[in-house]
Chain A
Amino acid sequence: MIPTADSLAFQTVLERWLEQTATAEEEAQLWQWVSESRTCARELAAASRFHGMLAETIKARDIEDEARRQLALTPRSHETTRALPRVEVKAGLSSWRPFALAAAIALVGMLSVLYWPTSPPHPWVGQSPVSLRPSAPERTPVAPVRPVPALTTKGLAGQPHLKTSPMTLIEQLDGFFIGPLSIDALPLGQAMGLLRQLLEEKETEGRVRLTSLHITVPAGAMARRVSFHTQTPLPFLKAVRAIAALAGCDVQAAGETIAIILHPSIFPLAVEKKKITDLLVGRVGRDGTPLQQDPLRLQALMDDAAMLGIVPANDGTAMLSSGQWAALLQLMDSRDYLNNLPLPTFAVYNLPADQAPLTGAGVLSPEQAEDFIEDMTRIGRRPDQIIIPRADAADPTLPIVLIPDGTEIRIALNASPLPQDQPTTPLVANNSPRQISDPRTLPIDSTRAGIGPVSSQPPKPMTYAASSQGSGFVLSDPNATNTIQVIVTIPTTQPPP
């Protein structure tokens, strides 16, 4: 006898089947009833559909709640992006107002602005399934490519003064490198929170206003689990892009917002066969060698691929998803950037003499530079300027020129034309500071300094320091009538070997 779908016999077996506690006989009986009764088949379909939806929805809600709690988000609707197109609002019908409100909440939910505080590290970082491979303490980030334009400011009350950086927050973030990193099956929302946390741990010197940084993750992608393992340090934004790509998302970054955009595709992403060595096509090393012919870069590519779980064949092909491809691309770009980077980023402080790490002008030892940074951090002093060398400049070894002019100090970068009629102080050059006995009065020697634009000028006050070994430089304004003002320039990181 075939039971009806709402009979106790069918419902009992169905419940046991849903909980996976049914015996083999009960399971066979259930399928038998399903094949013999349309109503039973429909009931099993409805129950299965509801069961799947319940599991999916609870999981998504739970992960979203958890992410919001951990990241101190403001409460929002649990609407999903899929529900959005169904909401219709008709003007003039007050009964539709709740739906209009729901639509607005859903829109907010989809955009899901995540405001992460810059407060001390969250305890969840250590408790989440994220494992961070230990890396050597890295006090400072490496520079992004974008240059800071030259600027001129008038000093106040006779004090040389420097303007704040014109770079946007997002642009500044690329100066911070994240990694090595190992994320294992972490929901995207939490992975972004982790990146944010790592960024804050790097930004110990208060150079960037991270409180203004907004990262948005769509609700539909919040729960997507991603795994990302790399030994290659990535600029923050590249790390965000790589991890978002693995979750089937794109990234748009502008101003103070990083928006993760849900890419309409099947997730988990399907894999296809690709030649991963194609990632090196068109790339050249510093000496112009095509990277496809560089065994070290080929090996590095294979290493990066292996860390992402990609197993390349001997012919360079591998089965990988579009997200893995995009992540590899970010890793390749990061390696290129690191390899081509000529100089570190410099933080410039404009200070009274009693806060200077040296008396007068000179080159700082690494210890002095470190002590100086600690002192600045302790008193909450932020740099007046962050100077970032550009990797694509004609002569990237000369990124910084300070031009004292009475109560003005002009900061110029290598791409900026140097003045022909003003005293010029190139702070960074190829010479070793050990060769300089009196950095303030050394005459220009273009063959040694390679400073180009001012080489034909008569001797001017200047300070040299080696570009790659320099730990920091102190400049007392040579034109100032007193010595109470100094400029301290500290590399915020060392360039890669």
Chain B
Amino acid sequence: MSAPSHDQFLPLFLPVQSDLRAFIGAAVRDPAARDDIFQEVAVVLWKKFEVYDPSRPFGAWARGIAIRKILEDRRVRDKSPTACTAEQLEALSAGFAADEAEASWQDREKALNRCLDQLPPRSARLLRERYHQNHSIEQIAEQEGLSLDAIYQSLSRLRRQLRECVQRRLGLAID
């Protein structure tokens, strides 16, 4: 196995960086900590790139390093009593690997944009408030004059519809 050149790093890293963020985000719920860990992982990936085995999927290698960083961070912060274990993170990583085999992030994102284009204005506004404005369900409920449960159900239904829409567009089986 020949050591990969750093010239090859970005072409491998850029396509998986959003996915890596999502993986870290699944294990670390605090946005600031998540960003910090992502940065640290990116630096380690760069520094350790020479030992990367190109015959392995880059995403899996990156998640392996992310798991170590997440666990390290957890030891330092020690704020999460329900924190997942190394085994659970490995299981999640395997889940990511199985799911990513179906379609790339780029194809999914493209399909999602198409699906979002078809949303009625009220649904689009709800998603915007939740994901761009980062409003809590409570804040949205108050703003919309609806119950917490109504907003919760609406968001849940919207996510499900969008996921199905994306899967339809990609020709994937709908669970």
Chain A residues engaging chain B, CB cutoff 8 angstroms? 5-6, 15, 18-21, 24, 27-28, 31-32, 34-35, 38, 40-46, 48-59, 61-63, 78-80, 82-83, 85-86, 264-266, 268, 270
Bound CA span A46–B167, Å: 11
Write out the residue numbers on chain B whose beta carbons fall within 8 Å of the beta carbon of A61: 113, 116
Evaluate contact between A62 and B116: CB separation under 8 angstroms.
Answer: no
Q: Does B163 contact A (CB under 8 A)?
A: yes
Q: How far does the Cβ of B174 sit from chain A's closest Cβ, in whole Å?
A: 10
Apart from A48-B23, A49-B96, A53-B105: 15 A-B pairs, beta carbons within 8 A: A19-B137, A24-B81, A31-B82, A31-B88, A32-B88, A34-B91, A41-B98, A45-B92, A48-B92, A49-B108, A54-B112, A54-B162, A56-B21, A59-B132, A270-B42
Interface range on chain B (Cβ under 8 Å from partner): 35 or more
Q: Does B25 contact A (CB under 8 A)?
A: yes
The 6 closest A-B pairs by CB, nearest first: A52-B22, A45-B95, A41-B95, A48-B26, A42-B95, A45-B96
Bound CA span A91–B20, Å: 36
Bound CA span A85–B105, Å: 13
Q: Whose C-beta in chain A lies nearest to the C-beta of B102? A: A46
Q: List 21 A-B contacts (CB under 8 A).
A: A6-B175, A19-B156, A35-B85, A35-B88, A41-B98, A42-B98, A43-B175, A45-B92, A49-B19, A49-B22, A50-B166, A52-B21, A53-B18, A57-B112, A57-B113, A79-B110, A80-B113, A82-B105, A85-B106, A86-B107, A266-B17
Evaluate contact between A50 and B163: CB separation under 8 angstroms.
Answer: yes
Evaluate contact between A5 and B92: CB separation under 8 angstroms.
Answer: no
Evaluate contact between A49 and B98: CB separation under 8 angstroms.
Answer: no
Interface 0/1 of B1-42, CB less than 8 Å to A: 000000000100111011101110110010000010001001
Name, among A44, A54, A63, A270, the residue most crowded by chain B CB atoms within 10 Å (CB to CB): A54
Evaluate contact between B82 and A78: CB separation under 8 angstroms.
Answer: no
Q: How far does the Cβ of B93 sit from chain A's closest Cβ, in whole Å?
A: 8
Cβ 8 A contact of A34, one of B35, B92, B107: B92
Q: Whose C-beta in chain B lies nearest to the C-beta of A271? A: B39
Bound CA span A31–B163, Å: 22
Bound CA span A266–B17, Å: 8
Write out the residue numbers on chain B whose beta carbons fall within 8 Å of the beta carbon of A32: 88
Evaluate contact between A265 and B18: CB separation under 8 angstroms.
Answer: no
Write out the residue numbers on chain B whose beta carbons fall within 8 Å of the beta carbon of A21: 137, 152
Q: Is the interface of A mostly helix, strand, loop or mixed?
A: helix
Evaluate contact between B35 and A268: CB separation under 8 angstroms.
Answer: yes
Bound CA span A5–B173, Å: 14
Q: Whose C-beta in chain A lies nearest to the C-beta of B151? A: A19
Bound CA span A46–B152, Å: 20
Bound CA span A34–B127, Å: 27
Q: Does B68 contact A (CB under 8 A)?
A: no
Write out the residue numbers on chain A whose beta carbons fall within 8 Å of the beta carbon of B35: 268
Evaluate contact between B19 and A78: CB separation under 8 angstroms.
Answer: no
Bound CA span A57–B105, Å: 11
Q: Whose C-beta in chain A lies nearest to the C-beta of B90? A: A35
Q: How far does the Cβ of B48 sit from chain A's closest Cβ, in whole Å?
A: 14
Q: How far does the Cβ of A103 sit from chain B's closest Cβ, in whole Å?
A: 11
Q: Does B117 contact A (CB under 8 A)?
A: yes
Q: Does B159 contact A (CB under 8 A)?
A: yes
Evaluate contact between A49 and B105: CB separation under 8 angstroms.
Answer: yes
Evaluate contact between A79 and B22: CB separation under 8 angstroms.
Answer: no
Q: Does B128 contact A (CB under 8 A)?
A: yes
Write out the residue numbers on chain B whose beta carbons fall within 8 Å of the beta carbon of A50: 108, 159, 162-163, 166
Evaluate contact between B22 and A48: CB separation under 8 angstroms.
Answer: yes
Bound CA span A19–B154, Å: 12
Bound CA span A43–B91, Å: 11
Bound CA span A180–B109, Å: 39
Evaluate contact between A54 and B131: CB separation under 8 angstroms.
Answer: yes
Bound CA span A343–B82, Å: 67
Q: How far does the Cβ of A322 sit from chain B's closest Cβ, in whole Å?
A: 13
Write out the residue numbers on chain B whose beta carbons fall within 8 Å of the beta carbon of A20: 29
Q: Does B78 contact A (CB under 8 A)?
A: no
Evaluate contact between B156 and A15: CB separation under 8 angstroms.
Answer: yes
Q: Does B71 contact A (CB under 8 A)?
A: no
Evaluate contact between B99 and A42: CB separation under 8 angstroms.
Answer: yes
Q: Whose C-beta in chain B lies nearest to the C-beta of A36? A: B91
Q: Whose C-beta in chain B lies nearest to the C-beta of A59? A: B132
Evaluate contact between A19 and B116: CB separation under 8 angstroms.
Answer: no
Cβ 8 A contact of B87, one of A24, A35, A49, A265: A35
Evaluate contact between A53 and B108: CB separation under 8 angstroms.
Answer: yes
Evaluate contact between B106 and A41: CB separation under 8 angstroms.
Answer: no
Q: Does B51 contact A (CB under 8 A)?
A: no
Cβ 8 A contact of B113, one of A28, A41, A79: A79
